[in-house]
């Protein structure tokens, strides 16, 4: 991706930049007055709520006052995604929304003093509907703080500050037509806060798939709230530690060293519901039909479901099936997150768990895994057990996704035994060791790809037909077993399993 290196010193060419945006990224320096007056700029649905504190806003005011004394002050960079709508071109903010919102608040505070005619030239800032209550509260708080501040200034100081803000403050504006490229640029140059996760790109993609009508806008708000109820680290872990790995291992492919990256997200893009090609893509029909059926059931029986006279029906998600773009993707994420919490998967056993989900954490986890859980959890030898616990959790999630609670404890014993093989026999368990063990590439009595077995089995009993003998230690000396390993194995091999029959 080649970035146009010609950076103009003013905003005269922004229309040309927008017209040529399809050729590649365009970079220009805009005066703040032009940025705040441009009615094409929007804050899109996928952005987080406005969160700058009064202290952040005060620091921005101080910086403007200080740095414009000696010349122009370049505040930072704004990355815009240019897209066409029925109303014309729209510029969605990918990076810079917190600062830009604060500049709008500051400009309005100056305008309210009646001492600054320049600040009256402001476009309405179209905020994201997500987190509207939180955003409105934060905007009001900062507006009140800035109004209180500028009211203490003399008329001359207001005019001087406004002149500095509108005429001497500049912003580097990067405009791109490709949203994925815009996100990647943000990810590479952003030094504030966390980097973007691949799941952020998935979120933006599936929001775009929903549409732009009034009904679609309401659906987007609901789905964004559903997504944002899950901590960002947990969304990323759900994909990187579980869904991505399960799909790779179930298809007989190893998990690459770099893990789940932006290059991997195509795996979670799939069927467009309104695509005419679905008439010929016969493989897609069952999933579209299932979605249509659940939608019809929900709309026709809403009252009966509300009063408990009928059971609600969910779309029948399966980890290894194609993804339906848009709404179903977001509901899939919520579905698997809730299931993962119920199964007590390690990535979600932390302080970030939403308060309303604490009671369900681990409620579906088998007690026979206590020894492994104790070693891989807080206070245990987490580094020693990290890889095998990750494999165990992926197996539990995949099995439960396919067979529910059928023979759950029996499979927990089998999976626990299976993942203890590399832990007991290898001095050091590495990523490559787990890949080999998950795929069953090492020939021997325990060489089996349980992900294949789960995928191809029609009943839970078919999965349980693989006896796992107790492992021998690495080397020949039994004393080389770690005591914790022995305790965990004792708990697993003293329980009779279906596979022992």
Which tens digit of pLDDT belongs to each residue from 430-457? Answer: 999 999 999 998 777 678 899 999 999 9
At residue 279, the pLDDT reads 75
| 197 band by pLDDT with thresholds 50, 70 and 90 | confident
Q: What is the pLDDT of residues 97-118, one digit of tens each?
A: 889 999 999 998 888 887 665 5
Length of the chain: 501
The pLDDT of residue 474 is above 70: no
At residue 2, the pLDDT reads 27
Enumerate long-range contacts of 314-317, CB under 8 Å, 24 or more apart. 315/290, 315/291, 316/290, 317/401
Over residues 54-74, the mean pLDDT reads 87
At residue 493, the pLDDT reads 81
Counting Cα atoms < 13 Å in the Cβ hemisphere of 452 gives 13
Distance CA 379, CA 335 (A): 30
Name the DSSP class of 89: E
Q: Strands across the sheet with 26-31, in order?
A: 26-31, 169-176, 73-85, 88-95, 41-42
At residue 455, the pLDDT reads 96
Tokens standing for 458?
């029609």
Q: How much of the chain exceeds pLDDT 70, in percent? A: 84
Q: Residue 48 burial by CB count (10 A; 0-12/13-18/19+): exposed, middle or buried?
A: middle
Sign of CA dihedral 329, 458, 238, 436: negative
Q: What is the DSSP string of 191-218?
A: -SSPPPPHHHHHHHHHHHTT-SSHHHHH
Tokens standing for 291?
């979605």
**Higher pLDDT residue, 404 or 24?**
404
The pLDDT of residue 480 is above 60: no
Q: Which of 184, 4, 175 is closest to 91 using CA atoms? A: 175
Average pLDDT of the chain, as a whole number: 83
Neighbouring CB atoms inside 10 A of 370's CB total 15
Among the ranges given (16-25, 191-200, 396-405), the one the predictor scored with the smallest mean pLDDT? 16-25
At residue 427, the pLDDT reads 80
Q: Do residues 24 and 106 make contact, with C-beta atoms less than 8 angstroms apart?
A: no
Work out the angle between the directed axes of helices 483-493 and 408-425 (0-180°, nearest 10).
150
| 236 band by pLDDT with thresholds 50, 70 and 90 | very high
- Radius of gyration of the chain measured on its C-alpha atoms: 28
Neighbouring CB atoms inside 10 A of 479's CB total 6
| 77 band by pLDDT with thresholds 50, 70 and 90 | confident
At residue 188, the pLDDT reads 59
278 backbone dihedrals φ, ψ, rounded to 5°: -65, -20
At residue 331, the pLDDT reads 96
Q: What is the pLDDT of residues 349-397, one digit of tens each?
A: 888 888 889 888 889 898 888 888 887 776 667 778 889 999 999 999 9
Tokens standing for 113?
């003093």
Q: Do residues 146 and 105 make contact, with C-beta atoms less than 8 angstroms apart?
A: yes
Sorted by sequence, the CB contacts under 8 Å of residue 480 that are 6+ apart come out as: 473, 474
Distance CA 398, CA 455 (A): 9
Q: How much of the chain exceeds pLDDT 90, in percent? A: 36
The pLDDT of residue 409 is above 50: yes
Q: What is the 3-state secondary structure (H, E, C) of 213-270?
A: CHHHHHHHHHHHHHHHCCCHHHHHHHHHHHHHHHHHHHCCCCCCCCCCCHHHHHHHCC
Name the DSSP class of 15: H
What kind and span of H or E run contains 82? strand 73-85
Q: Which of 489, 435, 475 is closest to 245 using CA atoms? A: 435
The pLDDT of residue 3 is above 50: no
What kind and span of H or E run contains 171? strand 169-176
Q: What is the pLDDT of residues 326-337, one digit of tens each?
A: 999 999 999 999
Name the DSSP class of 9: S
Q: Do residues 409 and 402 make contact, with C-beta atoms less than 8 angstroms apart?
A: no
User: 3-state DSSP call for residue 175?
Assistant: strand
Over residues 115-127, the mean pLDDT reads 63
Q: Residue 387 burial by CB count (10 A; 0-12/13-18/19+): exposed, middle or buried?
A: buried
């Amino acid at each position: 991706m080649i970035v146009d290196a010609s950076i103009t010193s003013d905003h005269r060419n922004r229309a040309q930049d927008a017209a040529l945006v399809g050729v590649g990224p365009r970079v220009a320096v805009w005066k703040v007055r032009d940025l705040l007056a441009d009615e094409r700029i929007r804050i899109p649905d996928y952005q987080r709520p406005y969160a700058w504190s009064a202290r952040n806003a005060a620091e921005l005011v101080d910086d403007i006052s200080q740095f414009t004394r000696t010349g122009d002050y370049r505040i930072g960079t704004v990355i815009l995604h240019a897209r066409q709508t029925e109303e014309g071109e729209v510029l969605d903010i990918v990076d810079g929304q917190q600062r830009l919102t604060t500049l709008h608040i500051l400009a309005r505070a100056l305008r309210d003093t009646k001492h600054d005619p320049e600040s009256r030239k402001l476009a309405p800032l179209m905020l994201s509907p997500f987190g509207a209550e939180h955003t409105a509260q934060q905007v009001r708080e900062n507006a009140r703080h800035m109004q209180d501040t500028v009211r203490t200034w003399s008329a001359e100081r207001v005019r001087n500050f406004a002149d500095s803000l509108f005429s001497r403050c500049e912003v580097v504006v990067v405009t791109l037509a490709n949203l994925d490229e815009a996100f990647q640029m943000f990810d590479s140059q952003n030094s504030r806060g966390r980097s973007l996760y691949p799941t952020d790109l998935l979120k933006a993609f599936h929001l775009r798939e929903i549409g732009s009508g009034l009904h679609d806008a309401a659906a987007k708000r609901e789905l964004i709230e559903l997504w944002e109820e899950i901590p960002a680290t947990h969304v990323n872990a759900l994909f990187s530690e579980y869904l991505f790995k399960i799909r790779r291992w179930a298809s007989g492919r190893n998990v690459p060293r770099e893990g789940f990256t932006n290059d991997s997200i195509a795996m979670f893009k799939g069927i467009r519901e309104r695509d005419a090609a679905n008439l010929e893509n016969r493989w897609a029909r069952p999933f579209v039909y299932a979605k249509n059926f659940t939608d019809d059931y929900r709309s026709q029986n809403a009252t009966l479901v509300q009063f408990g006279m009928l059971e609600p029906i969910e779309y029948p998600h399966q980890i290894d099936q194609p993804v339906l773009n848009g709404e179903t993707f977001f509901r899939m994420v919520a579905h698997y997150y809730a299931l993962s919490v119920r199964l007590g998967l390690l990535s979600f056993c932390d302080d970030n768990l939403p308060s309303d989900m604490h009671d369900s954490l681990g409620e579906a986890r088998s007690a026979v895994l206590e020894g492994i859980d104790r070693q891989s959890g807080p206070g245990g030898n987490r580094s020693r057990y990290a890889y095998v616990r990750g494999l165990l959790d992926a197996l539990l999630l995949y099995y439960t996704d396919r067979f529910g609670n059928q023979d759950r404890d029996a499979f927990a014993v089998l999976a626990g035994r299976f993942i203890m093989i590399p832990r007991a026999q290898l001095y050091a368990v590495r990523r490559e060791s787990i890949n080999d063990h998950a795929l069953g590439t090492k020939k021997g009595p325990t060489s089996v790809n349980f992900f294949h077995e789960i995928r191809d089995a029609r009943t839970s009993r078919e999965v349980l037909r693989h006896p796992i003998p107790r492992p021998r230690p690495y080397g020949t000396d039994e004393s080389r077993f770690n005591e914790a390993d022995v305790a965990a194995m004792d708990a697993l091999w003293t329980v009779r399993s279906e596979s022992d029959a």
